[in-house]
Structures are given as structure tokens and as C-alpha cells.
Copies of this chain bind each other. A is one copy, B any other.
Amino acid sequence: MATKRPLTLRDVSEASGVSEMTVSRVLRERGDVSVATREKVLTAAKELGYVPNKIAGALASQRVNLVAVIIPSMSNMVFPEVMMGISEVLDETPLQPVVGLTHYKPGKEEQVLYEMLSWRPSGIIMAGLEHSDACRTMLKASGVPIVEIMDVDGTAVDSMVGISHRRAGRMMAQEIAAQGYKRIGFLGTKMPMDHRARKRFEGFTEALAKNGIEIADQEFYDGGSALAKGREMTADILHRSPDLDFLYYSNDMIGAGGLLYLLEKGVKVPEDIGLAGFNGVELLQGLPKKLTTMDACRKDIGRKAAQIIATRCMDDQNDAPQTIELEPIISLGDTLMRS
């Protein structure tokens, strides 16, 4: 089987005896075409197995129905859910998401953005608000709608939709302080580039301070199975500070590990030690006790972001930049005492 030249419109045109232009119209369902010619064209195209060349189409029409989605990672459960929200909305439009991963590295982010922009997407959805100057410049120069997602604690290039992680941290601290916990430990990741985790932590300590409480101890991890790390870190921090009465985890996975560990040890949760995580992952439904956590409205964020892009691209309404702040929802669970 020789490597064959891919089929072109011209091939379909010749096979059907209709001009290239009309073939193009039929295939794009644009403009009026008589039923007879339409049939001829469709038949010819199908028989040949013709697949339109979007590269040429995009160049000619100056339109690419692609939305660049730039996120840190796909492996921690949080972004797949955002993606679902995005797809749900874009599926109703001719737009298609294309994702690029940054792995929380600013350098990679810049590179991925450049790469994406070189395909001239119709819109951009990007996680976070902190980007290099180069990124901001490219974004502004792109001339397409941009939505920064997940976070609203900062300044957006264009639109943003997310939650306030500072506020989320404060809310959880309030809840914990209100239940009378005093000796609080914080367990998180070692990622300096995870700005949202950082903001949560800042809000958390700030609200604790207002209640006259200081973080008693902290522990950070890096890589490996989060569930296993949650166990280890919990063991370590309690070994070092046995008098802790509450553990705040920066994500649900390590929280779940901690919970499993404490339960095995026979520690009474939440009486002896209270626990809380962040994110509301589906996994938690299957745990022996429901971990107290906070839902970051991930799917909703995806939906809202996609909606902004879609209306701006389709209706071509050059809308003003929007800011949508969603309310993180606390899920009390069974690992925090309730008065």
C-alpha cells in the first residue's frame, strides 16, 4: 500500500462533477444548494472517504474553533472535573477544547501558551492568576477572549471565574475555631508554585489569629502516592506534636490517608482529633468516615468559563471582562465536631 496523497476538495469536485466551491458549501452546510447536487456531493465524498482539511479551512476563513485550556495537571482529580464542565458547555457549540499541561512550572506555562497561541485559538481558559510577564503580554496581544479560572484573589488579564481561596481558608478556620479546637496542625504540599494552596493557608492562619490561635505545627510533602503520604505525614506530625487536636490538610487525598491512619490507630475522630481537607473529591464517599472538606465548585467553574468564551466567540458580543466569584461550599462530614 503506497503512501497516498490525502484527498482534497478537488477530488470530490471531480468525482461529483460539481465545482469545488459548491462542494465546500455542501460539506459546511452553508448557503443554498439544490437537493440534487447536495446528494451527488455527499455520495462522492463518502465513497472517497474524504476528510476536510481544517488547516486549509482555518487559514482561509481566519477562524479556528479551538479553545485553549491551560492547566497544571490532569492527575489530581481537580482538573478533570473542570474539564467536564467545559466540555459540557462547548459540546453545544462548534468550539472544541484543546488542553495543555504546565505541571505547575511557569516556564512550561509560557511554552505551552506560546505553542497554543501559534494555532490561533478562538479563546483561552487558563488556570490561576499568576503568570510571567511574557505570558501576560502574549495573552493581551492575542486579541481573543481569555478566562482565568480557579482563583479570584488577584487581577485578571481579562475575565476570571473561581473562588477566593483566602476566603475558603478563613471559612474553614472559623469552623474549626468555633468547635473549640486549639492545637492545630497544617499538612500540605511542598509546591511553592501552587498559589491557591498558599492563599488558602494564608486565609486560614489569618482567621485563626483573629481567634487567638496559631498554627502549632506543619508538615509538607512532595511527590509519591498522596494517600500514603497522608499517612506518613500524620504519623510524623503527631509524633512530633502529640498534643495536636486538629489537622488541616491542603487536599482531600492526604486527608483521607490521615483519616485511614488514625482510624487504624484507634484514635477517636473527631473527639480526640478533628480533620479537614479541601476539594470534595468523589473518592471520599467511600471512606469509613466522611472527611470534612470544602467543595471548590470545579465543574461549575468549568461551565461558567466556557460560557463566557462561547458567548464572546459566537455572538461576537465584545463583552466587557467579567469576574465571577463562586461560593465554596463547606461539607461538614464526620471528622469535625458539631455543636
Mark A residues whose CB is within 8 Å of B.
1, 3-4, 6-7, 49, 51-56, 58-59, 64, 74-75, 77, 80, 83, 96, 98-99, 114-115, 117-120, 137-138, 140-143, 224-231, 256-257, 260, 264, 282-288, 318
Contact = CB atoms under 8 A, between A and B. Distances in A.
Nearest to A60: B59
A6 B120 contact: yes
A138 B74 contact: no
B49 A137 contact: yes
B286 A52 contact: no
Contacts of A117: 51
Given A3-B143, A4-B143, A118 B54 contact: yes
Given A49-B138, A56-B59, A143-B3, A260 B288 contact: yes
A83 B101 CA distance: 11
Given A225-B286, A226-B286, A283-B227, A120 B53 contact: yes
Contacts of A119: 54-55
B285 A227 contact: yes
Interface core residue of A49, A55, A118, A318 (most chain B CB under 10 Å): A55
Main secondary structure of the interface of A (DSSP, over half): helix
5 contacts: A6-B142, A49-B141, A52-B118, A55-B59, A96-B115
A286 B228 contact: yes
Contacts of A137: 49
Contact of A143 (B6, B52, B118): B6
A53 to B, nearest CB: 6
Contact of A80 (B7, B56, B74, B285): B74
A260 B286 CA distance: 8
A12 to B, nearest CB: 14
Contacts of A284: 225
B6 A53 contact: no
Nearest to A51: B117
Given A3-B318, A54-B118, A228-B286, 10 more contacts: A6-B142, A54-B120, A55-B58, A59-B59, A74-B74, A74-B80, A96-B115, A225-B282, A225-B284, A260-B287
Nearest to A226: B286
A290 to B, nearest CB: 11
A75 B256 CA distance: 19
Interface core residue of A83, A98, A230, A285 (most chain B CB under 10 Å): A285
A286 B51 contact: no
A324 to B, nearest CB: 22
Nearest to A140: B1
A37 to B, nearest CB: 23
Contacts of A228: 285-286
A227 B286 contact: yes
A285 B98 CA distance: 32
Contacts of A229: 286
A224 B285 CA distance: 9
Given A3-B143, A59-B56, A225 B283 contact: yes
